[in-house]
Structure 1
Amino acid sequence: MDRDSFSVGGPFLSLIERQQPSPPSVIVIGAGISGIAAARSLSNAAFKVTVLESRDRIGGRVNTDYSFGCPIDMGASWLHGVCNENSLAPLIRCLGLKLYRTSGDDSVLYDHDLESYALYHKEGYQVPQEVVIKVGKIFETILKETIKVRDEHMNDMCLLEAISIVLNKYPHLRLEGLEYEVLQWYVCRMEAWFAADVDTISLKNWDQEHVLSGGHGLMVQGYYPVIKALAEGLDIRLNHRVSKITQRYNKVIITIDNGTNFVADSAIITVPLGVLKANLIKFEPELPEWKASAISDLGVGIENKVALRFDRVFWPNVEVLGMVAQTSYSCGYFLNLHKATGNPVLVYMTAGRFAYDIEKLSDEEVVDLVMCQLRKMLPDAPQPVQYLVSHWGTDPDSLGAYSCDLVGKPADLYERFCAPVENLYFAGEAACMDHSGSVHGAYSSGIAAAEDCRKRLSVQHGISDLLKIVMREELTELMVPLQISRM
């Protein structure tokens, strides 16, 4: 039987419509990729879906800026796991979006390979590559030894404490001078992966993330095309900041800050974890203790970007320019977008306390600080012709970049955070147990929450799965390869 036999319309659908009551209604709070994925899924299942978004744009922590004349992702920018198992792979393939692979599966730098960067000392000379490679191997050894420390200690501790234990046990791993500064740069890069400082990263959980195969790929055209495709045709209300969520009479009443109420059968909450932790949304009745404690026990990391557009390329043809220093706080690195996209753009990456501290400065002061570091590496660097600075830590719509594991967190933390509270469902990157902190994790979480919500409401409304079959999403996994480059 061909597909046309099940096309939407005609007497077959009319029969179903006569047998079905009015469709269930769901309000999705947040138009980031998790919220839009949930809304798309439920809309395709013929549910009545409304998305409420506090910002004046869709995407949430996916924010592709076009003011440079080219796409610049000021939020999420990588596909972590360039493989068909990645839940976003089918959509990326269908849209024909290009990826620039920045690392393989086994890079000590996580999303960049060792040979793809140049490190500099503050005195202006480039660190010899043999020193960088040597220190990289020592860093890997130290990290492997911290796993033994974890096995020997019942209680959790921060990764920095575990590293200290390793160095006390194996003094030959201690480094001095330039090698020590290079080691601090490796720590700086690790902190960027977790968006948190090494003295806050959990020893118990730092290596427990399920990282997909295929390495890491930069979205050459930015992430917005993915958001745009998923959002097409959805009822999305921008500038609708939710202030209160009320559960009453098997319904949810969503109140926005101007007092307007929206009523639905269920709600899917996809606002960033930082917003939930700040209690910016009032719940009535209050969330149960098991849910509230899960929200409070999860950590939120901070990562910021400073994008600089120049009138010409004056830097070496490497993916990353890095500055070594005596502390990881004083280290830094620039992502070279010219190598991946052909545009004369460098992006300075900051994480943890340093990312938090630069948010206390004006954008002009931040650019001056970043350019001072760049000129220590490349003295003839001109002023940028344009710049962009992110503020994810103080942005009231995010209050952080993405979730991180705090020291001593309970084993069931993610399960409790993901779990629904009656007709309230929770989704987002922080709600994805296996892939927290990633775009595909947020996407998968939204799909999962939507499916849980659909099943519950279908039972309540007496809707058979036949309607889902008829109205299912027509997006298929086209058998075309991911478009991947590596210069």
Structure 2
Amino acid sequence: MDVVVIGCGASGIAAIRRLHDAGLKVIGLEAADRIGGRICTVPFGSGTVDIGAAWCHGEKENIVFQLTNPLNLLGRPEPFENIYVLSNGNVLDTKKGATITEALNDEIAKADKNNTKSISDYIRKASKTNEVLNNNGQLTEVFVEWFERSNHVGGQKDSRKGKSLKGLEECWPCDGEVFLNWKGRGYKTVLDVLLNRYPEPAKEIPVPILLNKEVESIRWSSNQPGLDSSNPLVQVKCTDGSLYDAKSVIVTVSIGVLQERHNTLFNPSLPEEKINTINNLQLAVLGKIYIEFEKSWFSKTANFTVLWRDEDKTKFGEDEKWITEIYGLWTVDHQPNVLLAWTYGNGAEIMENASLEAVKSGINKLLDVVFKKEFNVTPVKSIVRSQWGSNPLARGAYSYRSVASEENGSNAIKLSDPLYRSNRFPVVCFGGEATSHHRHNSVHGAVEAGFREADRLINSFKEFKY
């Protein structure tokens, strides 16, 4: 075998496709019972929803857009209206809400991106000096809390784990529409394109992708005590006892999995700089709850911003506090009776570990307390939720640079550096969205990273005539 790809999410599938097209012998090992990783399209409501990645974010220099738009797979959203709802049930004047939101965004836009402090620390300090924000008193505090959750700035428990301002400069958005949808097919569509399953009657690439193959160890150097020095190949062992030898491997598992398992996964251990990078990058825990109603009670273009006042939070018991961290309810393209509730960080973690019945009960209480005063809310029919933080094969939704990352010199470029043999042949390569130099936190970044590592190996196999 030339290459074993470990993890068959978007990055792993992209690498497999590129390696196959170059004529290399490749196999994919996936620990779950499905491919896709944090792409997870499931049946719900009148069609499907995406528990993980949902939209193609942007057009220019977006590899997902380049792959799928020529096939007419992407749809453009209708313009949406922001409805600002206070937690006492009152609807805030739209113009006032937009003005405060714009002031918060303006402060971040003008911030010194070379500053290593957290976004949270910066925006809270800026809210004391910005004229618009300073003139809105308690309402500004409510908006700042929403802004922190909506932008997933982190650092609720440890400020060093908050998103850094400098990280904003390193993460490049793609110009164009950021909410391109899949016309009801779901994000799994991009996997079908990469595997040549679409458009039909295309012939799927004949590469073995083995499911339920959790990797236990990667023995990547034969020049170590206790390893088989007669075998120069990388030796991959799965928890079911199966063994796979290859000239190189591409590891595409999430940064959260690397943080938990790098000590036991790699033999010999990773270099200290690599470990430092793994430990100081962060993984956001972003929670999604899709809510299907008996019938729609909202405009199909409405997005509800939920603004929590401290006095209203007291209406929720200790085991319901996660409800007070829901910061938005959005309509869903091609699902007229469905809203998507968003939560982040600690609230998402608590929600994930509650029973499905408790989550549904919590959503009903949210609707009773916050929405029924001004809206004719219809009964909830069913819900489905994400659980990325508690998923041992993910441990979160996407990666970001934290204050700790800046303090310790950790970044995606260092994470992406391969491990080499003494002759400089890359024996262990690293893919996945966290290794994308400027598009981390996105599927297009994951696909770019998979292509990057595949191309690295294709060129190395040619150079070394391996």
Q: Cα distance 1:168–1:120, how it changes in 2: closer, same or farther (>3 A)?
A: closer
Q: What is the CA distance between 1:208 and its match in structure 2?
A: 3.7
How does 1:51-450 map onto structure 2 within 5 Å? 51-83=28-60, 85-101=61-77, 116-144=81-109, 146-147=111-112, 156-169=116-129, 173-174=133-134, 175-191=136-152, 199=159, 200-220=162-182, 221-231=185-195, 232-233=204-205, 234-247=207-220, 248=222, 249-279=231-261, 282-326=265-309, 330-337=325-332, 340-379=333-372, 380-409=376-405, 410-411=408-409, 413-422=411-420, 423-450=427-454
Q: Distance in 1 between matches of 2:146 and 2:280?
A: 29
Amino acid at match of 2:97: V
Amino acid at match of 1:71: T
User: So what's the TM-score if we normalise by structure 2?
Assistant: 0.83
Preserved CA contact (<8 Å) 2:56 2:179:
yes
In the other structure, the counterpart of 1:7 is none
Amino acid at match of 1:236: I
Q: Distance in 2 between matches of 1:173 and 1:270?
A: 43
Amino acid at match of 2:285: I
Q: Distance in 2 between matches of 1:267 and 1:239?
A: 18
Q: What is the CA distance between 1:448 and its match in structure 2?
A: 0.2
Q: What is the CA distance between 1:99 and its match in structure 2?
A: 2.5
Structure 2: gaps of 5 or more residues: 196-203, 223-230, 314-323, 421-426
In the other structure, the counterpart of 1:11 is none
The percent of aligned pairs where both chains have the same amino acid is 25
In terms of mean alpha carbon deviation, does 251-260 or 93-102 score higher? 93-102
User: So what's the TM-score if we normalise by structure 1?
Assistant: 0.80
Q: What is the CA distance between 1:187 and its match in structure 2?
A: 3.1
Amino acid at match of 1:307: Y
Preserved CA contact (<8 Å) 2:85 2:306:
yes
Q: Secondary structure at the match of 2:328?
A: strand
The C-alpha deviation readout for 1:417-446, integer Å capped at 9, x for no partner, is 001002000001000011000000000000
Q: What is the CA distance between 1:59 and its match in structure 2?
A: 0.4
How does 1:31-46 map onto structure 2 within 5 Å? 31-46=8-23
Preserved CA contact (<8 Å) 1:242 1:255:
yes
Preserved CA contact (<8 Å) 1:195 1:401:
no
Q: Secondary structure at the match of 1:436?
A: coil
Q: What is the CA distance between 1:219 and its match in structure 2?
A: 2.3
Preserved CA contact (<8 Å) 2:12 2:450:
yes
Amino acid at match of 2:217: K
In the other structure, the counterpart of 1:454 is 458
Q: Secondary structure at the match of 1:244?
A: strand
Q: Distance in 1 between matches of 2:298 and 2:10?
A: 34
Q: Distance in 2 between matches of 1:145 and 1:444?
A: 29
Q: What is the number of residues matched between the two proteins?
A: 418
Q: Secondary structure at the match of 2:219?
A: strand
Q: Cα distance 1:138–1:90, how it changes in 2: closer, same or farther (>3 A)?
A: closer
Preserved CA contact (<8 Å) 1:184 1:331:
no
Q: Secondary structure at the match of 1:78?
A: coil
The C-alpha deviation readout for 1:17-55, integer Å capped at 9, x for no partner, is xxxxxxx61100011000000000001111111000011
Q: Distance in 1 between matches of 2:432 and 2:27?
A: 17
Q: What is the CA distance between 1:413 and its match in structure 2?
A: 2.5
Amino acid at match of 1:47: L
Amino acid at match of 2:211: L
Q: What is the CA distance between 1:127 and its match in structure 2?
A: 0.9
Structure 1: gaps of 5 or more residues: 1-23, 103-112, 463-487
Q: Distance in 2 between matches of 1:373 and 1:402?
A: 27
The C-alpha deviation readout for 1:262-285, integer Å capped at 9, x for no partner, is 111110000111111101652111
Q: Distance in 1 between matches of 2:357 and 2:21?
A: 46
In the other structure, the counterpart of 2:316 is none
Preserved CA contact (<8 Å) 2:401 2:411:
no
Amino acid at match of 1:223: Y
Q: Cα distance 1:196–1:382, how it changes in 2: closer, same or farther (>3 A)?
A: farther
- Alpha-carbon RMSD across the aligned residues, in angstroms, is 2.4
